[in-house]
Amino acid sequence: MSKVWFITGSSRGFGRRFAEAALSRGDKVAATARNADSLADLAAAHGDAVLPLTLDVTDKAAATAAVRKAHEHFGRLDVILNNAGHGHFGMVEELAEQEIRGQFETNVLGALWVTQAALPYLRAQGSGHIVMLSSMLGVAAFPNTGAYTASKAALEGLSDSLSQEVAAFGIKVTIVEPGAFSTEFAAASASSAPLPAYDGVREAVNAGFANMPLPDPSGVGAALLKVVDADNPPLRVFFGSHPLQVVQSVYVERLTTWEEWAEVSAEAGAGAGAGQS
């Protein structure tokens, strides 16, 4: 049986490729974008299988209305794909209030509003798959990525808890963690006004990222279809081979540090009285 998808951020990048992959095999897609006109070509190519919707995911009421409209139109929702997001980069000291708020409004709260709107329908039908588009940077931080990393780390924690809460309702959750790809993401990202004090750090980071592999994103759609079709899909999955190399070293370093400081950890928990967290 074909699946019905609700995909945010469908106008370009991964979102467009995910939508095209689903539609190419006969699935139906409620495709959202800030401007539904950007979805006209998708609708023209696939006809009634596409429901184009204008949606700014930071608007909770609009997210609720869009999910309701998609459910009314198709009669069910099988895959909720929280893909909409953007990147903002800068050293932590450089981040302006509106910049960090904007990262969380879109990358975390936008996904939350869509998920909350969809959950009553998924619980009622006893099935569904919520896919959160995170990033390798949700588990590995670098200089200049603080705002984006913080938003994706928050999304990961939210999604992990969600997966445990909804499992009994037959609902699955997957966090997709892509590495860098050759997409429009970098061009669409923003940066904070630089402080000269960090010029040396910035140059070192840029030099380190200069040789990062940038695979073509043509394979991401087929990869996601395998995830959503799996009987036992993963809670987390990398897209691209580079993230595994990076994150393995990150976790080795974390485990080593925790073990080295285990005596202090035990000392902290050895006090008398009721436990506190």
Q: Is 226 labeled as catalytic in the residue annotation?
A: no
Whether 126 contacts 169, CB under 8 Å = yes
pLDDT (0 to 100) of residue 117: 98
As a whole number of angstroms, the distance between CA 224 and CA 226 comes to: 5
Q: pLDDT tens for residues 150-172?
A: 999 999 999 999 999 999 999 99
Integer Cα distance of 256 and 92 in angstroms: 26
State the burial class of residue 231 (Cβ atoms within 10 Å of its Cβ: 0-12, 13-18, 19+). Answer: exposed
Q: DSSP assignment of 40-74, as one string?
A: HHHHHHHGGGEEEEE--TT-HHHHHHHHHHHHHHH
Strand, helix or coil for residue 54: strand
Specify the residue for token string 């302006």: 96
Q: What does the chain come to in residues?
A: 277
Which residue in the list 11, 135, 148, 159 is annotated as catalytic? 148
The residue type of 229 is D
Give me the pLDDT at residue 273, please: 65
pLDDT class of 124 with cuts at 50, 70, 90 = very high
- Strand 50-54 relative to strand 88-89: parallel, antiparallel, unpaired? unpaired
Annotated catalytic residue 198: no
Angle between helices 146-166 and 111-125 (to 10 degrees): 10
According to CATH, the superfamily of the domain at 4-243 is NAD(P)-binding Rossmann-like Domain (3.40.50.720)
| Residue 81, beta-bridge partner list | 7, 131
With pLDDT > 70 as the criterion, what percentage of the chain qualifies? 97
Output the pTM of the full model: 0.94
Does the pLDDT at position 187 exceed 90?
no
Q: Answer yes or no: is pLDDT of 188 > 90.
A: no
6-46 per-position pLDDT tens digit: 999 999 999 999 999 999 999 999 999 999 999 999 999 99
Active-site entry in 3, 28, 152, 172: 152
More confident residue, 189 or 20: 20
Closest alpha carbon to 38 in 55, 25, 21:
55
Residue 229 structure tokens: 């079709």
Q: 134 catalytic, yes or no? A: yes
- pLDDT computed for residue 275 by the predictor: 57
Query: In the prediction, which pLDDT does 277 show?
Result: 62
Catalytic annotation, pick one of 134, 159, 163, 192:
134
Structural domain boundaries of the chain?
A: 4-243
